[in-house]
Amino acid sequence: MKYRKLGGLILILLSVAGPAAVRAAEEPAVKPLTLQECVVRAIKHNLGVAVQVITTRQADLSVAQAGEKFLPTLSFDLYRDEQNSSSYSWMDASDISSTKSDSLSSKITQNMPLGGTVAFGLSSGSYKSNARFQTINPYYSGQLSFDWTQPLLRDFGWGTSRKDIVIARNANAIAENDLTSTLIHTVYAVEQAYWELVYQIRSLEVQRQSLKLAEDLLEKSRKEVAIGTLAPKEILSSQAEVASRRADILQSEMMVKDSADALRGLLAFDLEGEGGAIIPADTPGFAASEISLEQALAAARARRPDLQSAGISVKSREVDYTYAKNQMLPSLNLTARYWSPGLSGDRILYMDDNPLTGIIIGKIAGGSREALTDALRLKYTNWSLALSLDIPLNTVLTRAAAAQARAGLELETARMKEREQAAVLEVRAAHRAVRTDYERVGAYRAASELAAQKLEAEEAKMKVGLSDSFKVLQYQRDLAASRTAELRSLIDYTLSLRKLDKATGATLDKWNITLADAR
């Protein structure tokens, strides 16, 4: 009985606590987020960053692929042949003329830095026939060979042979700069969305405070109407102002949600449902910037990834132009060959040492090993040297490829200068905005303090009957507008500092972010 009561009590508790626990689990926890936490999450989960990281990996693989040009190539060839035909002469064979041959060769080829190629080859073969009067049958061959081909005009040189590698490395560097630029823009977008959310939340608080002041004034007016010290029509302005400020709050609440969604999207939060509320934990600071315009311009020239990419693009076009000019030269190639043959086989002994007798009296056996041994020992040395000249008419009659490459170089140079000019204008505007927004904060703070003092004075005058609710409501609205403008100027100044960091390329350094963090 005792355990039954205990079990019943547990069931009652579970029935009460169960739905509440489920609701608590379904409701997302509200956790204040610092700006640093938002930046870290964006670097790890932002989709734009993820796309650029994959692009950078592809560029890394392109560099590796281009470098494979100087990896050696190993090739093997296996050949077997058997031929049978009727004998057309008693000197050829008795009935059927038959031959069998086999060969196996291997070669390793290496591209050289100056544009040439070197190849080492080793081959072995055998040949057997039923023809009459053979002195060696079957016989075995072996050969060691060395081939070197070197361009002397077209395709000659370290830069020409490594063109694809240089271009791939430059493209990889540009991809890394693009990743850096993506990180900078992502961090700035997070900062912008974060501080915009801070502004909307605080602006909503200011409007709620303003609504509270209007409601208090309306309540005070109603009491005065009730006791007969105020005419009923005097509260109409208070009622209208309360309704207007409630409408403003509805608009501000929507703006808070929109700003939270913008930040949630940058942080790759779930956008399907409403999601948990994002509560900013940081507050904007207010400290004067010490960086001068000259320092900002120097930092931009040294750090901005788009300027670095522009310089790299010019270098790539210079490589293309140099290569195009090289391709206009005639093709003059030097070819050198050295080879060492070897030969062995079964030597057939004829009567009187005369194969025409057709009488075989013995055989001295030989194998393929002896042929390969003679080849490897360089028993028989042979060499050849050749020069070949090829003059394509297209390089004589037209220089379109070189002209096109030169135009590409001029285009990239112009684009680089255009980017430098745009960067200077962006830095100047950002630096100017920092100074202006800093002064705006001070001006709006003073205006806000004066608005508060005016409201206090008008409320004091109203208490002694020298003012009315209409003027007090107007001063309340002026105070709310001044506080909102002060908050807006403070947020603008904070974003101006971050925009100056973006313009000078210092954003990642300020946050101590590296490309490895994104990867």
Q: Is 30 helix (H, G, I), strand (E, B) or coil?
A: coil
Per the CB < 8 A criterion, the answer to whether 409 and 323 are in contact is no
512/267 Cα distance (integer angstroms):
19
Could you report how far apart the first and last alpha carbons of the chain are, in Å?
Answer: 65
pTM over 0.85: no
**What does the pLDDT read at residue 90?**
58
Supply angle C-alpha 227, 232, 234, rounded to 5.
110
**In this model, does residue 467 exceed pLDDT 90?**
no
**In this model, does residue 502 exceed pLDDT 90?**
yes
Q: What is the pLDDT of residues 93-109, one digit of tens each?
A: 567 778 888 999 999 99
In terms of phi and psi (left: phi > 0; alpha: psi -120 to 50; beta: otherwise), the region of 268 is left
Give the orientation angle of helix 35-45 with respect to helix 236-266, to 10 degrees: 40
Task: Tell me which H or E stretch contains 295.
Answer: helix 293-303
| Average pLDDT across the chain, whole number | 85
**What does the pLDDT read at residue 381?**
87
Give percent above pLDDT 90 in the chain. Answer: 50
Q: What is the pLDDT of residues 332-345, one digit of tens each?
A: 999 999 999 988 88
309/314 Cα distance (integer angstroms):
9
Domains annotated for the chain, with CATH where assigned, are: 37-63+164-320+403-518 (1.20.1600.10), 74-151+331-390 (no CATH)
Closest C-alpha among 123, 14, 115 to residue 78: 123
**In this model, does residue 431 exceed pLDDT 70?**
yes
**What does the pLDDT read at residue 92?**
63
Cis peptide bond upstream of 28, omega within 30: no
Region of poorest pLDDT, from 78-87, 251-260, 415-424, 496-505: 78-87
Per the CB < 8 A criterion, the answer to whether 187 and 263 are in contact is no
Give the residue with greater pLDDT, 149 vs 403: 149
Q: What is the pLDDT of residues 118-140, one digit of tens each?
A: 999 999 998 888 776 677 778 88
Q: Is 276 helix (H, G, I), strand (E, B) or coil?
A: coil
Q: What is the pLDDT of residues 210-220, one digit of tens each?
A: 889 888 888 88
Per-residue pLDDT, averaged over 58-81, amounts to 91
**In this model, does residue 16 exceed pLDDT 70?**
no
